[in-house]
Amino acid sequence: MKFKTIIYQCLLSGSLSKVVRSFIFLSILFCLSTLSASANTLYSTAKKDSTKESVKVKVIAGNKDCIFNRKYIRYTIDITNTYKNAQEGTVVYEVRNDRNKQLFGGEFNVHVNAKGILSVPLKFTVNAPGFYEISTRINVTDYDDTIATVFGYKPKLIRTPLHKPADFDKFWEDAKADLKKVEPKYTIEYSKTQSNSTHRFYNVEMQSLDNVTIHGWISIPRLAGKFPVILVMPGYKQILQPFFPDDQAIFCLTVRSVSQMNKVNKNPHFESEYCMVNIDDKNNFIYRGAYMDCLRAVDFLFANYKLGLDTNRIIVFGGSQGGSFALVTAALDHRVSICGADNPIYCDMHNYYEIANNKRPDAFPIKYYNQYLRQTAIQKETLLRTLDYFDVQNFIPTIKCPVLIALGTLDPIAPPACVYAAYNKVGPAARRKSEIHILSNVGHEITEEYSFIKFLWIEENTVEIQGH
């Protein structure tokens, strides 16, 4: 369904300054210069090389966070023309659901005066709670570009089935029992080179499920007393570098690797891609061991509290895969006091499969799943039955501590609908203390602003626990 409108406008003076948005992910700063954004606005600019003249386009959501909870969705498309000649052409917009199905759209013939600004208002409705893409193509005399963004409609009402296996709880109780049988053999080695005047630094080694040796490092302030511990979970194939906050101990974990699985003869197909190791066997799938590695890290903190660790204040958090590890750890081990997860992957896997397959089949991890299905006789339903045991949303209802989750609306790896659906399954008691933050026009990363909010939230909740 398309609507066509003709719009003219009056001459306005002045110019708009260029906006560049910065965001941070695990201390790495990225800048977008040609296509930039604020929370509710996307910008694009076309210039002639030999002049300062340009056409600038802004796509502005009616709500600051691009989340709409009332009937109408409202956007404004602002076109600023600094050329001495008028701009003629069209504006075409389309709205698609998260399965990449076009729902409706519209087309406008536009005329932008020389040195003028034109505002094109959009107003429409969608029916179901979820996240939707709106793409806008502006084709005028000296400019042609498409800007795509995502908005959410009543995300608190997103409901998806759990797909929780009947023996899910027993499966993980058995895994924890198997872990308990493995003697941890903790090794703690003080590092002179990494320690400094304010912190003691230790390299750590221990045995986990299947007698796999896992590693990590811990930094502890030299001040007297006990310190809350932030247990930082690794992202995909990530080894975290040391850092030294003033008033917290930091324990960074490195979970089992593919090479370690090879050493203990637990990778019979010699699979090199981490997320695919033994995916045909839930009892030997690499994430069964990796989830237990996370629990063993909590065991380490309790066994070594005399290092100056306050085990009543254990905070687990991570991003991407690390976010999933944090949520699963908080669900399986209620000794965890606070949980934070940025862009957690492996949430709502049945829903994820359909979204990713229709929108970004080339993205991680869907591309590996599809490759696996093409190369084997395994059916998609069989693969999903295995993944059901590791789907983060199946763990979430048992979390008892406060949870902080962040999602990016443009994230192809952890789609916002999947992350929000998982968050909506946090139990009522934990939900009262929990928060979810939607980072508009952001992909698989977090913003600098949210980074600040996150650490404030951790501090506040840590102090609250200490008060009790």
Question: For 92-134, how does the pLDDT look when each residue is reduced to its tens digit (9 = 90+)?
Answer: 999 999 999 999 999 999 999 999 999 999 999 999 999 999 9
pLDDT at 45: 61
pLDDT at 467: 56
Closest by alpha carbon to 344, among 330, 326, 329, 332?
326
Enter the DSSP assignment of 305: G
Any long-range contacts for 34-39 (C-beta under 8 Å, 24+ apart)? 35/147, 37/149, 37/440, 37/441, 38/441, 39/64, 39/65, 39/66, 39/440, 39/441
What is the distance between the alpha carbons of residues 15 and 11, in angstroms, rounded to a whole number?
A: 12
pLDDT at 63: 92
Residues 6+ away with beta carbon under 8 Å from 446: 23, 24, 25, 319, 342, 343, 406, 408, 439, 454
What is the distance between the alpha carbons of residues 33 and 46, in angstroms, rounded to a whole number?
A: 12
Number of Cβ atoms within 10 Å of the Cβ of 400:
16
For residues 140 and 202, state if they share a domain: no
The stretches in the chain having pLDDT less than 70 are: 1-39, 41-51, 466-468
pLDDT at 370: 97
pLDDT at 103: 97
pLDDT at 161: 95
The answer to whether residue 100 is domain-embedded is: yes
Find the CATH number of the domain harbouring 96: 2.60.40.2360
pLDDT at 38: 58
Average pLDDT, the chain: 89
Residues 6+ away with beta carbon under 8 Å from 463: none
- Cβ-in-10-Å burial (0-12, 13-18, 19+) of 27 comes to exposed
Closest by alpha carbon to 151, among 124, 112, 170?
124
pLDDT at 93: 96
For residues 140 and 206, state if they share a domain: no
For residues 150 and 172, state if they share a domain: no
For residues 201 and 103, state if they share a domain: no
Determine the structural domain holding residue 42 and report its residue range: 2-157
For residues 218 and 294, state if they share a domain: yes
Question: Which residue among 157, 183, 202 closes a domain?
Answer: 157
**Backbone φ, ψ for residue 367 (5° rounding):** -65, -35
Encoded tokens for 393: 């949303």
pTM (2 decimals)?
A: 0.89
Domain count, the chain: 2
pLDDT at 2: 41
For residues 6 and 152, state if they share a domain: yes
Q: Is residue 294 helix, strand or coil?
A: helix
What is the distance between the alpha carbons of residues 59 and 175, in angstroms, rounded to a whole number?
A: 50
The answer to whether residue 89 is domain-embedded is: yes
The answer to whether residue 162 is domain-embedded is: no
Burial 8-24 (b: 16+ CB within 10 A, else e): ebeeeeeeeeeeebebb
